[in-house]
Chains A and B, each alone.
Chain A
Amino acid sequence: MDTRDTPEQAELRRSARRLARELGPATVADLDDATRAKRLAAAVGDAGWFELRNDVGDGAPLASGVEAAIVAEALGTAVADVAFAGLVLGADLARRAGAPPASSAPVAFASSLTDPAVVYGPETAAPLFVVDVAREHEDVAYVLVPEGPGYRLAQVSADGARDGPARAEQGWGSDLTRSVRTIPAGAQLQEVPDQRRVVTDDDLAAGTALGLALTSADLVGVMRGVLDITVAYAAERRQFGVPVGSFQAVQHRLADARCLMEGSLSVALHASWAVDDLEPKEARAAGRVAKAYCARAARTVCETAIQVHGGMGNTWECMVHVYLRRALLSSRWFGDDGEQLRELERERLDDDGLS
């Protein structure tokens, strides 16, 4: 039992943090700098991080959930406006189906936001959501179709889902750093050729475990990043002739936030390890524990950050709402704390549950 990074993991952590810090947005205005965002996406692509869960040839992924979570946390810390988790999860699903990796660009997957979408019939019956489809990517998303005791992969077009106010024409939701597309009901399914395996319930549980681990890691990163800027602000901003960070009322809220971040890191690390090293349903349960804790913690930490930033924290150009908005999407994606508690209750408190 040793939860420390391997030397390779520590190096990945350092390089992912460095890259995200250098190319991520430093200000809200930076979010409109398309050249920078393109360089960021290219750098993440060049680093090979989209392919972390691709098939190395024998059905195993290139890297474990731990490495994927290390990158997710680093991108969250810098609120890096680049698609990542959705594409890694899409590749993970394709690997489980034994489908060749998408030819031109990575493919995300469609979900009810809480669960990977399972479609019965030739077209979708309810609106679906795709996180992390960017303009430079394929305009399709994976869904699952029941087949025998399991599922096979299909895809739907994620195009033509760009109506709505403000940034929605580019496929943006509340998170200013990652796209969310809505696919209206009635989208036609298309075949994904050359699938060598049936996706089982265990595959789905393990894929969900990865989703829970990556969204939890992203939340840890968001907490780390927003706390860094908030502590710096509290040390600098002066009122009554002294830094506001010298007041215990402020200090204690920031201390609480730091503790929440540390506890979140502990559960998120475990969830990322569990993806490949525990039985799928145990891994998913570990993911639910992590997500329940991280989602609640991140909400409190981001709200604290806004409060400590005072009036400034309630203006659009202050970065803190970028963190909060990212936390809101990461919390809801794969289910927020309330959703996870409901599932844990079912597993642990009901007689017909798993335990």
Chain B
Amino acid sequence: MMDFRDSPAEAEFRARLRAWLAENNPGLPSSSTDDEYWARQGEWHTTLYDAGFFGLSWPERYGGHDLPTVFDVILDEELAAAGAPPRPSLGYLVQGITVHGSEQIKERFLPGIISGRERWCQGFSEPDAGSDLASLRTTATRDGDDYVINGHKVWTSYSDVADWCFLLARTDPDVPKHKGLSLLAVPMDQRGIEQRPLRMINGITSEFGQVLFDGARTPATNMIGEPGEGWRVAMTIVSHEREPGELGYVARYAKTVKDLESAVRTEPGSFRSDQRAAVAWAYVQTEMLRLHVRRRLSERLDGIDHGPGGSIDKLLMTWVEQTVGAAALDVSGPTAVTDAENLALKVYLYSRAQSVMGGTSQIQKNIIATRILGLPTA
């Protein structure tokens, strides 16, 4: 039924959430600009979860609420309206484990991921394996009941606080590169793992890290999927890692646009027409993404699709983030260049990562061209 309005159940949920947020908004700074956000993100996750507002569309037996996916839209919209931090971005891990993990794996790991009691990072990229992910060289070698891991992962979000690493490693060097990979859950707190922070171009240090594995171990029972199934697990994950509906970033963009609008409203007459147009265009783009997520999550009511459509959503999201980031810079005063701590500068610089993380825009376009448009490969 085409209806963008809330059903009675959705309206009740929205009202309850809004009332809760009025009392419980932690007032954190934006995730894209401040280390304090990352320091307190885990706390926000458990607060949201304990109040019954996280894991809405995930199975109840793993700690979710079994609600239709559109409830995630309501959560994102209300977080944005309250100026609260976005929900933690974990949907892609949940999807990967749900699709490929055994029942035992799901029961072991999903409750901790969803409740925020166990925190995760994703060990995919390596210094020499970025877009060409399947060429990765980190190895996991069977040794009795364990796998022993050696290698170097980089651009690893949340590695500093993670309890577990969702690790893509080579378990069979003798088969073609896509076929020799497996997915392992690896405990981070052990002697064979060293975690080093990376400083992003906007100065924040606690989102990105690099992880060095030197004889780290994990039980073979922690494998997600079969040996050699790693590439397929990774592709399921990245297809959702790209989706704004899983990520909840719309709330962050809407909050920035709101701040820009109020800055312009407060000092009418001191902004040029091109600056006003940049803010209005950022608003249009953000609205587009909000409505696009509603459409895509509604389509999931017909059944979830792990196909290449996420690449379209990722590109749209990237354009929105970078439009909003550019607008923040465009309307900023001289402090954007005289003060390294200027917020607009940080928002803008952070936005440049969106066309790289989760697969570059160029990779997304390759996927759209060949798998959605059906164009021939060279």
Contacts and interface: CB of A to CB of B under 8 A. Distances in A.
Interface of A: 1-6, 9, 66, 231, 234-235, 242-243, 245-248, 250-252, 254-256, 258-259, 262-263, 265-267, 269-270, 273-274, 277, 289, 292-293, 338, 340-342, 344-345, 348-351
B362 A345 contact: no
A351 B265 contact: yes
Interface residues of B, number: 52
Contacts of B378: 242, 246-248
B316 A262 contact: yes
Interface of B: 1-7, 10, 70, 73-74, 261, 264-265, 268, 276-277, 279-281, 283-285, 287-289, 291-292, 294-295, 298-299, 301-302, 312, 315-316, 319, 362, 364-366, 368-370, 372-378
A248 B298 CA distance: 32
Given A251-B375, A350-B265, A344 B283 contact: yes
Nearest to B260: A349
A277 B315 contact: no
Contacts of A344: 280, 283-284
A349 B279 contact: yes
A235 B302 contact: no
B250 to A, nearest CB: 12
Given A255-B368, A274-B4, A344-B283, A263 B375 contact: no
A345 B276 contact: yes
Nearest to A66: B2
A234 B3 CA distance: 38
A6 B2 contact: yes
A349 B276 contact: yes
A246 B377 contact: yes
Given A263-B316, A289-B284, A1 B375 contact: no
A258 B376 contact: no
A237 B284 CA distance: 37
A5 B276 contact: no
Contacts of B294: 1, 3, 266, 270
Contacts of B73: 1
A257 to B, nearest CB: 9
A263 B289 CA distance: 7
A251 B288 CA distance: 24
Contact of A3 (B4, B369, B372): B4
Q: Which of A235, A242, A262 has the most CB of B within 10 A?
A: A262
B315 A345 contact: no
B365 to A, nearest CB: 4
Contacts of B368: 255, 258-259
Nearest to A353: B265
Given A1-B294, A262-B316, A267-B291, A349 B265 contact: yes
B316 A345 contact: no
Contacts of A6: 1-2
A273 B7 CA distance: 15
Contacts of A340: 284
A252 B362 contact: yes
Contacts of A5: 2
A255 B301 contact: no
Contact of B5 (A242, A252, A277, A289): A277
B288 A231 contact: no
B264 A349 contact: yes
Contacts of B299: 3-4
A130 B73 CA distance: 41
A252 B4 contact: no
Nearest 6 pairs between A and B by C-beta?
A251-B369, A266-B292, A255-B368, A255-B365, A245-B375, A3-B298
B312 A262 contact: yes
A349 B2 contact: no
Among B1, B2, B315, the one with the most A-chain Cβ atoms within 10 Å of its Cβ is B2
Contacts of A262: 292, 312, 316
B298 A254 contact: no
Contacts of B265: 349-351
B376 A243 contact: yes
B316 A259 contact: yes
A2 B302 CA distance: 11
Contacts of A270: 4, 291, 294
Given A1-B5, A2-B1, A258-B373, A248 B268 contact: no
B373 A231 contact: yes
Contacts of B302: 4
Contacts of A246: 375-378
